[in-house]
Chains A and B, each alone.
Chain A
Amino acid sequence: MAGRMLLAGFALLDRQIVDRDGRMAGKVDDLELAEPDGGGAPYVTGLVSGRGALARRIGGRLGRAAAWLSARLEASGEQPGPIPFGVVRELGNHIEITLTREDLDSFELERRLRDGVVAKIPGARHAPE
């Protein structure tokens, strides 16, 4: 079957990921590729989103410093895993997924800052009126 054709760097990389509830859930910082068992061309299995992946792409001294910093910020010390491509709902000028951002590994820092700091400030629970 002749499928849709697109350029990975142009149409996927650096695009905004939007979750099921319309919340912003990071950028596509890299793509995870897998090679099929029987050989043949690799295919895209996941969207990689998170500071570690971004730092790797930026490279150089700045990238290494950012990678080090991002590893320290990660509570588990592990880099977030890729978002499986199977949960993608739509590809457009942004990328919609069927999960909520709270399901993603990359949400951890936001969650910690929310629960530890922002939610404690009075008036944080409601949108401005």
Chain B
Amino acid sequence: MRLSDLLGQEVVTEGGEHLGRVRDVRLVQDGPLLGTWGAAFRVDALIVGRGAVLARLGLTRDTPSEPDLLQRPFGPFRRRRPVPVPWDRVVEVGDVIRVTDDPTRRSPGG
């Protein structure tokens, strides 16, 4: 699998809800050891939502180093915050990425 197989893909829950597209992929460095580098970067979560272009430019990053003055002019675009979807919710990566329903939200049935 390549990173480009994930980026830009539509994310749909098993319940049929469209969550948006994969904007970026969050990695955590706690995977197996690789060569002289050390621990591998493991896929932790898909960052799903709109505003991929602005994120790409670095305007809607959620890091402490986010350019502060840029937040204001682009504030209106930030309202739809991207949501991380943890990798353990991913069921299948194909034409779309199927994920389980959000366990933190009450499902309609129960």
Interface string of A1-38 (1 = CB under 8 A from B): 11111111110010000000000000000111111100
Q: Which of A1, A9, A32, A86 contacts B35 (CB 8 A)?
A: A86
Give the A interface residue count (CB, 8 A).
34
Task: Flag if A3 contacts B24 (CB, 8 Å).
Answer: no
A-B Cβ contacts below 8 A, count: 107
Q: How far is the CB of B48 from chain A (nearest CB, A)?
A: 13
Given the contacts A1-B30, A44-B27, A48-B2, A6 and B41 also touching, CB distance less than 8 Å: yes
Q: Which of B23, B44, B47, B55 contacts A41 (CB 8 A)?
A: B44
Task: Flag if B42 contacts A41 (CB, 8 Å).
Answer: yes
Bin the interface of chain B by size. Answer: 20 to 34
Q: Provide the residues of chain B in CB contact with A84, threshold 8 Å.
A: 34-35
Say yes or no: is B103 at the interface (Cβ < 8 Å to chain A): no
Task: Flag if A87 contacts B40 (CB, 8 Å).
Answer: no
Q: Which residue of A lies closest to B58 (CB)?
A: A10
5 new A-B contacts at CB < 8 Å, known A7-B61, A42-B42: A4-B29, A5-B28, A30-B4, A84-B34, A89-B37
Would you give 7 A-B contacts (Cβ < 8 Å), ordered by A? A5-B29, A9-B23, A9-B25, A35-B1, A44-B27, A84-B34, A89-B36
